[in-house]
Structure 1
Amino acid sequence: MTTATTEVSKHRAPRAARSRSRAAEIAARVWADSTGRIAVPLLGVLVLVAVCAPLLAPFDPAQQNLQAASQAPSWLGGQGGHLLGTDTLGRDVFSRILFGLRLSMVVGVVTATGAALFGLVLGLLAGYFENSLGIVLMRVAEIQFAVPFVAVGVALAAVVGPGIVKLMIILAVWGWVNYARTIVNSVSQTKRLDFVTAARTIGARTPAILFRHIAPSVLGPVVILWSTSAGVLILVESALSLLGLGVQPPGFSLGSMLADSRTTLRLAWWATVFPGVAIMLLVVAFNLLGDAVRDALNPSARGKADPELW
């Protein structure tokens, strides 16, 4: 009997060792997806480059040298060893892209996270109190959808003044609508399930029901929206920087680099094209990551790539 039990235990051990958390399973599915295998390394490289910007930048990104203004990239015959050339003030474009990438990524990630948290809380409240507070919040959301953000951004900038921190706060508060509208129906359905009813019966308080029992059931759409909206917010920051509402000198982002060089496109096209390419790579990386996360969380997509096979 002991020998048989030992043999059974040996056969069961590998299965127990392979048990993983929910997060690990989702990460495995993301990596198993072909889109995820492009997004994760691309985003990882961009993050690494941004973090190591002080080590990789060959020049001071803020140093001006009018004698080297509008120098072409070194591989196009430019002088001074500037890999991507210089702008109209003689500042090295490559060094500025490295440092501007940091601020643009912070804007996208931090603002998207703030909007996700704000939208998650309001979406939970709107779905749980659907016949009272939910009606008010959804009407506010409909009104907000009808108003162009650029007009609101210009008006708010005229009142509070331009600045990257103020812009991030405005974007985070304004972005709650997409999250709330996405999860409100799921919250309304989840609150009627047996496990929520049981928690309410044993005396669980409303905050505990919302954040301990209902919130985990609706995190999937929130994560998907977060990964895609981060890239969108980077584009929004770039567009508002073109209007002078984003980061102010001496600070700079990829968007403000485009704003500074838009009037000299014919004279120094590299000062506009290369920051634009960097923005494109950032947005593509976040969008591809969002697609991979969506497929990983979608039960109907699990058959496309089984992470156990990799």
Structure 2
Amino acid sequence: MTAKTEPVQREPVKAAPAAPRSRSRAAETARRAWSDSSGRIAAVLLGLIVLAALFAPLLAPSDPTTQQLTDANLAPSWLGGHGGHLLGTDTLGRDVFGRMVYGLRTSLMVGLITATASAVIGLLLGLVAGYYENSVGMVLMRLADIQFAIPFVAVGVALAAVVGPGIVKLMIILAVWGWVNYARTIANSVSQVKRSEFVTAARTIGARTPAILFRHIAPSVLGPVIILWSTSAGILVLVESALSLLGLGVQPPGFSLGSMLADSRTTLRLAWWATVFPGLAIMAIVVAFNLLGDALRDAFNPSVRTRHDPELW
């Protein structure tokens, strides 16, 4: 007789835990930038600047264009000035703080829109120059070399004098002139990326050139574009201020931080606050964008390891 064998009871197999969803490239880049102290400082500083510009009607104590000659050159209230003007008044009795928060709108508009337009133009020309590096690319790069050899200040003043002053004309000139930095950087990257295996595979299966450029190559070179955009935005705010200081930028009744400097430079000894505080605002914008560019440069570089992010070790 054979002994009966009892069936072996097996434990139910537990389902494997679901794999965590991988972060998108944009989210990963943002996390890297935020883990850098420069990125956090830039984000906070730019956030405050943008909020001040957006809520200018609520922050400004009065109409920034209203002139009150009896209150001309009043000191800030915390320096003993009367009238409750936080940052004093200018030579025409206009509130400096109110004009600053409204002037932020114009200066930020010039920096952001002009830098974006230059980035788009430079990206398109850089893609073409890098993909056709032995034909069209040679012509575009020679034009870029010629433009690099010409000082922008002389050209900008000449063009602004010919077409006339105005914020829109100035933005067009700056946007067209700024394509060179983007195109040169992108063309070098594209010339390397186009030899990659995934580009060769796309070309083998019959993908058209526009699809290869915009679907396969462009996403690989967006990092340098974003870095250049962040630094160019601050530089363009500074350039607009310099041209407005020469009378070639924003025209009355409009104003920006740069035109505020132009209006108050003759009364620096009488009302230094009308010059110093707009100048500090311009400096804050430029520093914030430069810090953002540094943080993004490190975030897009996969070899960067920071002690603030243990997951990157």
TM-score (norm 2): 0.94
Q: Name segments (4+ residues, structure 1) moved above 6 Å.
A: none
Q: Give the corresponding residue for 1:75.
A: 78
Q: Give the corresponding residue for 2:283.
A: 280
Using the alignment, how far apart are the partners of 1:196 and 1:73 within structure 2? 62
Instruction: Return 5+ residue gaps in structure 2 as ranges.
Output: 1-9
Using the alignment, how far apart are the partners of 2:83 and 2:169 within structure 1? 38
Bigger fraction of residues in helix: 1
Letter in 2 for 1:109: L
How far off is 1:306 after superposition?
Answer: 2.3
Q: Give the corresponding residue for 1:195.
A: 198
How far off is 1:303 after superposition?
Answer: 4.4
1:220 maps to which of 220, 223, 233: 223
Using the alignment, how far apart are the partners of 2:11 and 2:28 within structure 1? 35
Q: Give the corresponding residue for 2:270.
A: 267
Identity of aligned residues (%): 77
Instruction: Return 5+ residue gaps in structure 1 as ranges.
Output: none
2:26 maps to which of 20, 23, 27: 23
Say whether the 8 Å CA contact 1:86–1:92 is kept in structure 2.
Answer: yes
Say whether the 8 Å CA contact 1:50–1:102 is kept in structure 2.
Answer: yes
Partner SS state of residue 80, structure 1: coil
Letter in 2 for 1:104: S
Say whether the 8 Å CA contact 1:241–1:259 is kept in structure 2.
Answer: yes
2:254 maps to which of 251, 260, 267: 251
1:236 maps to which of 235, 239, 242: 239
**Structure 1 residues 82-125: Cα deviation after superposition (integer angstroms, max 9, x where no partner):** 11000000000000000001110111111111111110111111
Q: Within 5 Å, give how 1:177-188 maps onto structure 2.
A: 177-188=180-191
1:41 maps to which of 7, 23, 44: 44
Q: Give the corresponding residue for 2:111.
A: 108
2:129 maps to which of 122, 126, 129: 126
Q: Describe the shift of the 1:45–1:308 C-alpha distance in structure 2 as closer, same or farther (beyond 3 A).
A: farther
Aligned residues: 303
1:136 maps to which of 135, 139, 154: 139
Letter in 2 for 1:241: S
1:4 maps to which of 13, 27, 30: 13
Letter in 2 for 1:78: G
Q: Which has the larger radius of gyration?
A: 2
Q: Are 1:89 and 2:98 counterparts?
A: no
**Structure 1 residues 255-284: Cα deviation after superposition (integer angstroms, max 9, x where no partner):** 010011111111111000000000011111
CA RMSD, aligned part only?
A: 1.4
Partner SS state of residue 204, structure 1: coil
How far off is 1:199 after superposition?
Answer: 1.1
Say whether the 8 Å CA contact 1:29–1:307 is kept in structure 2.
Answer: no
**Structure 1 residues 177-221: Cα deviation after superposition (integer angstroms, max 9, x where no partner):** 001111211101111111111111222111111111111111111
Partner SS state of residue 59, structure 1: coil
Using the alignment, how far apart are the partners of 1:73 and 1:2 within structure 2? 79
Say whether the 8 Å CA contact 2:36–2:306 is kept in structure 1.
Answer: no
TM-score (norm 1): 0.95
Q: Are 1:162 and 2:139 counterparts?
A: no
185-194 or 235-244, larger mean C-alpha shift = 185-194
Q: Give the corresponding residue for 1:211.
A: 214
